[in-house]
Protein backbone atom coordinates (compact mmCIF):
# COMPACT_ATOMS: atom_id res chain seq x y z
CA UNK A 1 0.00 0.00 0.00
CA UNK A 2 2.72 2.46 1.00
CA UNK A 3 4.64 1.79 -2.19
CA UNK A 4 1.77 2.49 -4.59
CA UNK A 5 0.96 5.69 -2.70
CA UNK A 6 4.50 6.97 -3.31
CA UNK A 7 4.26 6.23 -7.04
CA UNK A 8 0.91 8.00 -7.21
CA UNK A 9 2.43 11.14 -5.74
CA UNK A 10 5.17 11.30 -8.37
CA UNK A 11 2.82 11.19 -11.32
CA UNK A 12 2.62 14.52 -13.14
CA UNK A 13 -0.71 16.28 -12.89
CA UNK A 14 -1.93 16.64 -16.46
CA UNK A 15 -4.85 18.39 -18.09
CA UNK A 16 -6.12 18.51 -21.68
CA UNK A 17 -8.26 21.45 -22.68
CA UNK A 18 -9.59 22.79 -25.96
CA UNK A 19 -10.24 26.37 -26.99
CA UNK A 20 -11.33 27.13 -30.58
CA UNK A 21 -10.54 24.04 -32.67
CA UNK A 22 -12.25 21.05 -34.20
CA UNK A 23 -11.40 18.59 -31.39
CA UNK A 24 -9.31 16.51 -33.77
CA UNK A 25 -6.20 16.93 -31.64
CA UNK A 26 -7.99 15.82 -28.49
CA UNK A 27 -9.41 12.85 -30.36
CA UNK A 28 -5.86 11.94 -31.36
CA UNK A 29 -5.11 11.51 -27.66
CA UNK A 30 -8.21 9.41 -27.03
CA UNK A 31 -7.77 7.29 -30.14
CA UNK A 32 -4.48 5.87 -28.94
CA UNK A 33 -6.47 2.65 -28.54
CA UNK A 34 -3.52 0.38 -27.91
CA UNK A 35 -1.74 2.52 -25.37
CA UNK A 36 -4.29 4.87 -23.82
CA UNK A 37 -4.73 2.79 -20.70
CA UNK A 38 -0.96 2.53 -20.22
CA UNK A 39 -0.78 6.26 -20.63
CA UNK A 40 -3.43 6.93 -18.02
CA UNK A 41 -1.38 4.81 -15.61
CA UNK A 42 1.61 7.10 -16.07
CA UNK A 43 -0.09 10.38 -15.28
CA UNK A 44 -2.58 11.91 -12.91
CA UNK A 45 -5.20 12.93 -15.45
CA UNK A 46 -6.85 15.80 -13.64
CA UNK A 47 -8.86 17.26 -16.47
CA UNK A 48 -10.01 16.27 -19.92
CA UNK A 49 -13.48 17.72 -20.51
CA UNK A 50 -14.00 15.35 -23.43
CA UNK A 51 -13.78 12.27 -21.24
CA UNK A 52 -14.22 13.33 -17.60
CA UNK A 53 -17.24 14.76 -15.86
CA UNK A 54 -15.36 16.74 -13.24
CA UNK A 55 -12.57 18.92 -14.58
CA UNK A 56 -10.73 21.21 -12.18
CA UNK A 57 -8.74 24.01 -13.81
CA UNK A 58 -6.16 24.62 -11.09
CA UNK A 59 -2.65 23.41 -10.35
CA UNK A 60 -1.30 21.32 -13.23
CA UNK A 61 2.23 20.17 -13.96
CA UNK A 62 1.43 19.96 -17.68
CA UNK A 63 -1.48 21.51 -19.49
CA UNK A 64 -2.11 20.56 -23.13
CA UNK A 65 -4.04 23.15 -25.13
CA UNK A 66 -5.78 22.39 -28.40
CA UNK A 67 -7.00 25.25 -30.56
CA UNK A 68 -6.27 28.91 -31.17
CA UNK A 69 -7.48 32.11 -29.60
CA UNK A 70 -10.49 33.27 -31.60
CA UNK A 71 -12.58 35.13 -29.03
CA UNK A 72 -12.33 36.67 -25.59
CA UNK A 73 -13.51 33.51 -23.84
CA UNK A 74 -10.60 31.57 -25.37
CA UNK A 75 -8.21 34.18 -24.07
CA UNK A 76 -9.61 34.06 -20.54
CA UNK A 77 -9.45 30.24 -20.43
CA UNK A 78 -5.92 30.20 -21.83
CA UNK A 79 -4.59 32.77 -19.37
CA UNK A 80 -6.14 31.01 -16.41
CA UNK A 81 -4.75 27.62 -17.41
CA UNK A 82 -1.31 29.14 -18.07
CA UNK A 83 -1.30 30.73 -14.62
CA UNK A 84 -2.23 27.41 -13.04
CA UNK A 85 0.31 25.21 -14.84
CA UNK A 86 4.06 24.65 -14.64
CA UNK A 87 4.36 23.73 -18.33
CA UNK A 88 2.08 24.55 -21.21
CA UNK A 89 2.07 22.38 -24.33
CA UNK A 90 0.59 23.74 -27.56
CA UNK A 91 -1.14 20.68 -29.01
CA UNK A 92 -1.65 20.68 -32.77
CA UNK A 93 -1.47 23.14 -35.62
CA UNK A 94 -4.21 25.53 -34.42
CA UNK A 95 -2.38 26.06 -31.14
CA UNK A 96 1.04 26.13 -32.85
CA UNK A 97 0.49 28.25 -35.96
CA UNK A 98 -3.17 29.26 -36.07
CA UNK A 99 -3.76 26.72 -38.85
CA UNK A 100 -6.84 26.95 -41.08
CA UNK A 101 -9.01 28.97 -38.64
CA UNK A 102 -6.40 31.76 -38.71
CA UNK A 103 -6.90 32.11 -42.46
CA UNK A 104 -9.68 34.48 -41.40
CA UNK A 105 -6.87 37.03 -40.98
CA UNK A 106 -6.63 37.18 -44.77
CA UNK A 107 -10.33 37.39 -45.43
CA UNK A 108 -12.59 40.43 -45.41
CA UNK A 109 -14.70 40.69 -42.27
CA UNK A 110 -17.91 40.97 -44.30
CA UNK A 111 -17.15 37.53 -45.75
CA UNK A 112 -17.46 35.75 -42.41
CA UNK A 113 -18.96 37.86 -39.64
CA UNK A 114 -22.57 37.06 -40.63
CA UNK A 115 -21.83 33.33 -40.17
CA UNK A 116 -21.29 33.58 -36.42
CA UNK A 117 -20.46 36.91 -34.87
CA UNK A 118 -23.65 38.61 -36.01
CA UNK A 119 -25.74 35.66 -34.84
CA UNK A 120 -24.05 35.33 -31.45
CA UNK A 121 -23.38 38.84 -30.32
CA UNK A 122 -22.08 37.64 -26.98
CA UNK A 123 -19.02 36.28 -28.81
CA UNK A 124 -16.37 38.96 -29.03
CA UNK A 125 -14.35 38.53 -32.20
CA UNK A 126 -10.58 38.86 -31.74
CA UNK A 127 -7.76 38.37 -34.22
CA UNK A 128 -7.41 34.57 -34.55
CA UNK A 129 -3.95 33.75 -33.26
CA UNK A 130 -1.88 30.81 -31.97
CA UNK A 131 -1.43 30.51 -28.23
CA UNK A 132 2.17 31.76 -28.14
CA UNK A 133 0.96 35.19 -29.19
CA UNK A 134 -0.73 35.43 -25.78
CA UNK A 135 1.10 33.25 -23.26
CA UNK A 136 4.44 31.54 -22.86
CA UNK A 137 4.56 28.07 -24.48
CA UNK A 138 7.02 25.50 -23.13
CA UNK A 139 6.54 22.76 -25.71
CA UNK A 140 5.01 22.41 -29.14
CA UNK A 141 3.42 19.31 -30.63
CA UNK A 142 2.70 20.21 -34.28
CA UNK A 143 0.36 18.70 -36.85
CA UNK A 144 -3.25 18.80 -37.96
CA UNK A 145 -3.95 16.60 -36.20
CA UNK A 146 -0.75 15.61 -34.40
CA UNK A 147 0.35 12.04 -34.86
CA UNK A 148 -1.04 10.00 -31.94
CA UNK A 149 2.22 8.12 -31.49
CA UNK A 150 4.02 11.43 -31.21
CA UNK A 151 1.71 12.50 -28.39
CA UNK A 152 2.45 9.26 -26.56
CA UNK A 153 6.18 9.59 -27.06
CA UNK A 154 5.99 13.13 -25.74
CA UNK A 155 4.13 12.11 -22.60
CA UNK A 156 6.48 9.20 -21.94
CA UNK A 157 9.43 11.59 -22.21
CA UNK A 158 8.04 14.11 -19.74
CA UNK A 159 7.07 11.37 -17.31
CA UNK A 160 10.67 10.14 -17.46
CA UNK A 161 11.90 13.69 -16.85
CA UNK A 162 13.38 14.03 -20.34
CA UNK A 163 12.94 16.99 -22.69
CA UNK A 164 10.97 15.72 -25.69
CA UNK A 165 12.94 15.88 -28.93
CA UNK A 166 11.80 18.14 -31.73
CA UNK A 167 11.95 17.00 -35.33
CA UNK A 168 13.45 19.89 -37.30
CA UNK A 169 14.34 18.29 -40.65
CA UNK A 170 12.00 18.96 -43.57
CA UNK A 171 9.30 16.52 -44.64
CA UNK A 172 11.45 15.78 -47.72
CA UNK A 173 13.87 13.77 -45.54
CA UNK A 174 11.26 11.23 -44.49
CA UNK A 175 9.63 11.36 -47.90
CA UNK A 176 12.85 10.30 -49.63
CA UNK A 177 13.53 7.65 -47.00
CA UNK A 178 10.06 6.29 -47.76
CA UNK A 179 10.99 5.99 -51.44
CA UNK A 180 8.27 8.31 -52.74
CA UNK A 181 8.55 9.88 -56.17
CA UNK A 182 8.74 13.64 -55.73
CA UNK A 183 5.37 15.29 -56.25
CA UNK A 184 7.03 18.59 -57.19
CA UNK A 185 8.49 16.78 -60.19
CA UNK A 186 4.94 15.70 -61.04
CA UNK A 187 3.83 19.34 -60.94
CA UNK A 188 2.10 19.28 -57.55
CA UNK A 189 2.61 22.22 -55.14
CA UNK A 190 4.29 20.30 -52.34
CA UNK A 191 5.51 22.39 -49.38
CA UNK A 192 7.63 19.55 -47.98
CA UNK A 193 10.95 21.39 -48.47
CA UNK A 194 9.99 24.18 -46.03
CA UNK A 195 7.89 22.11 -43.59
CA UNK A 196 9.13 20.42 -40.43
CA UNK A 197 8.73 16.65 -40.66
CA UNK A 198 8.02 14.06 -38.02
CA UNK A 199 4.80 12.86 -39.67
CA UNK A 200 6.59 10.18 -41.70
CA UNK A 201 5.50 12.09 -44.85
CA UNK A 202 2.06 10.61 -44.40
CA UNK A 203 0.34 12.77 -47.02
CA UNK A 204 2.89 12.14 -49.75
CA UNK A 205 2.87 8.42 -48.99
CA UNK A 206 -0.82 8.58 -49.89
CA UNK A 207 -0.26 10.65 -53.04
CA UNK A 208 -1.17 14.08 -51.62
CA UNK A 209 1.17 17.01 -51.46
CA UNK A 210 2.31 18.51 -48.16
CA UNK A 211 0.34 21.63 -47.15
CA UNK A 212 2.71 22.54 -44.33
CA UNK A 213 0.60 21.58 -41.33
CA UNK A 214 3.59 20.95 -39.04
CA UNK A 215 4.91 24.47 -39.47
CA UNK A 216 7.98 25.88 -41.19
CA UNK A 217 11.47 24.54 -40.56
CA UNK A 218 13.82 26.91 -38.73
CA UNK A 219 16.17 27.29 -41.69
CA UNK A 220 13.65 27.14 -44.53
CA UNK A 221 14.57 28.73 -47.84
CA UNK A 222 11.31 30.51 -48.59
CA UNK A 223 12.67 32.32 -51.64
CA UNK A 224 13.73 29.08 -53.25
CA UNK A 225 10.38 27.44 -52.47
CA UNK A 226 8.53 30.33 -54.10
CA UNK A 227 10.86 30.24 -57.11
CA UNK A 228 10.30 26.50 -57.59
CA UNK A 229 6.52 26.85 -57.37
CA UNK A 230 6.59 29.70 -59.89
CA UNK A 231 8.72 27.60 -62.22
CA UNK A 232 6.11 24.85 -61.93
CA UNK A 233 3.53 27.32 -63.23
CA UNK A 234 1.74 28.36 -60.02
CA UNK A 235 0.78 32.02 -59.87
CA UNK A 236 1.48 34.27 -56.91
CA UNK A 237 -2.08 34.25 -55.61
CA UNK A 238 -2.11 30.47 -55.51
CA UNK A 239 1.28 30.32 -53.78
CA UNK A 240 0.29 32.93 -51.20
CA UNK A 241 -3.04 31.24 -50.45
CA UNK A 242 -1.45 27.82 -50.13
CA UNK A 243 1.24 29.03 -47.76
CA UNK A 244 -1.22 30.99 -45.68
CA UNK A 245 -3.59 28.07 -45.20
CA UNK A 246 -1.67 26.43 -42.35
CA UNK A 247 1.24 28.72 -41.58
CA UNK A 248 0.34 32.23 -42.69
CA UNK A 249 0.93 33.81 -39.28
CA UNK A 250 4.36 32.15 -39.07
CA UNK A 251 5.34 33.67 -42.42
CA UNK A 252 4.98 37.41 -41.79
CA UNK A 253 7.72 37.95 -44.38
CA UNK A 254 5.84 36.15 -47.16
CA UNK A 255 4.55 39.19 -49.01
CA UNK A 256 7.90 40.98 -48.78
CA UNK A 257 9.81 37.95 -50.09
CA UNK A 258 7.36 37.51 -52.95
CA UNK A 259 7.53 41.18 -53.90
CA UNK A 260 11.32 41.32 -53.63
CA UNK A 261 11.53 38.35 -55.92
CA UNK A 262 9.12 39.99 -58.35
CA UNK A 263 11.40 43.03 -58.56
CA UNK A 264 14.96 41.68 -58.24
S1 LIG B 1 -4.92 21.38 -35.47
FE2 LIG B 1 -6.31 20.42 -36.94
S3 LIG B 1 -7.15 18.67 -35.83
FE4 LIG B 1 -6.28 20.07 -34.29
S5 LIG B 1 -7.98 21.40 -33.68
FE6 LIG B 1 -6.90 22.44 -35.32
S7 LIG B 1 -8.02 21.86 -37.19
FE8 LIG B 1 -8.59 20.39 -35.59
S1 LIG C 1 7.14 15.04 -52.67
FE2 LIG C 1 7.27 16.85 -51.38
S3 LIG C 1 8.10 16.13 -49.47
FE4 LIG C 1 8.51 14.56 -50.98
S5 LIG C 1 10.58 15.04 -51.73
FE6 LIG C 1 9.11 16.03 -53.09
S7 LIG C 1 8.91 18.10 -52.28
FE8 LIG C 1 9.82 16.86 -50.67
S1 LIG D 1 3.02 15.76 -45.06
FE2 LIG D 1 2.84 17.93 -44.59
S3 LIG D 1 0.63 18.34 -44.49
FE4 LIG D 1 0.94 16.10 -44.34
S5 LIG D 1 1.04 15.65 -42.15
FE6 LIG D 1 3.14 15.96 -42.85
S7 LIG D 1 3.53 18.14 -42.50
FE8 LIG D 1 1.33 17.87 -42.42
- What lies within 8 Å, CB to CB, of 140 at 6+ separation is 89, 90, 96, 166, 215
Report the separation in Å between the CA atom of 49 and the middle of ligand 3, taken as the mean of its atom positions.
28
> Residue 249: inside a domain, yes or no?
yes
pLDDT of residue 20 exceeding 90, the answer is: yes
> Residue 165: inside a domain, yes or no?
no
Percent of the chain with pLDDT over 70: 89
Do residues 140 and 9 both lie within one domain?
yes
Do residues 194 and 154 both lie within one domain?
no
Kindly state if the Cβ of 22 falls inside 6 Å of ligand 1: yes
Kindly state if the Cβ of 102 falls inside 6 Å of ligand 1: no
Do residues 72 and 181 both lie within one domain?
no
Which position has the higher pLDDT, 203 or 120? 203
Report the separation in Å between the CA atom of 190 and the middle of ligand 3, taken as the mean of its atom positions.
10
> Residue 210: inside a domain, yes or no?
yes
pLDDT averaged over every residue in the chain: 89
Do residues 91 and 124 both lie within one domain?
yes
109, 130, 159 - which closes a domain? 159
What total of structural domains would you count in the chain? Answer: 2
159, 185, 216 - which closes a domain? 159
> Residue 198: inside a domain, yes or no?
yes
> Residue 164: inside a domain, yes or no?
no
Do residues 118 and 186 both lie within one domain?
no
Do residues 203 and 153 both lie within one domain?
no
Q: What is the pLDDT of residues 48-92, one digit of tens each?
A: 998 889 998 889 999 999 999 998 999 999 999 999 999 999 999
Greatest pairwise CA separation for the chain in angstroms: 74
159, 189, 213 - which closes a domain? 159
Where b means 16+ CB within 10 Å and e means fewer, 114-125 reads eeeeeeeeeeee
Do residues 226 and 247 both lie within one domain?
yes
Do residues 41 and 88 both lie within one domain?
yes
pLDDT of residue 117 exceeding 90, the answer is: no
Q: Quote the pLDDT of residue 108.
A: 65
- What lies within 8 Å, CB to CB, of 136 at 6+ separation is 82, 88
Report the separation in Å between the CA atom of 1 and the middle of ligand 1, taken as the mean of its atom positions.
42
Do residues 191 and 247 both lie within one domain?
yes
- For 254, the domain range is 171-262
* CATH number, domain with residue 69: 3.40.50.700
> Residue 166: inside a domain, yes or no?
no
Amino acid sequence: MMKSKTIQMTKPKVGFYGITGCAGCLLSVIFNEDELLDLIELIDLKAFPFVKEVNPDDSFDFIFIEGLVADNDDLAVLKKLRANSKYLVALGACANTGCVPAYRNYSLKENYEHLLFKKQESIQDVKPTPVDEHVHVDHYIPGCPPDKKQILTFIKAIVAGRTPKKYDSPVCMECRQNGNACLLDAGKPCLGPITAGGCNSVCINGGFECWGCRGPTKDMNLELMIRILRQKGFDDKFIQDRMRTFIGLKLPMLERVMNAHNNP
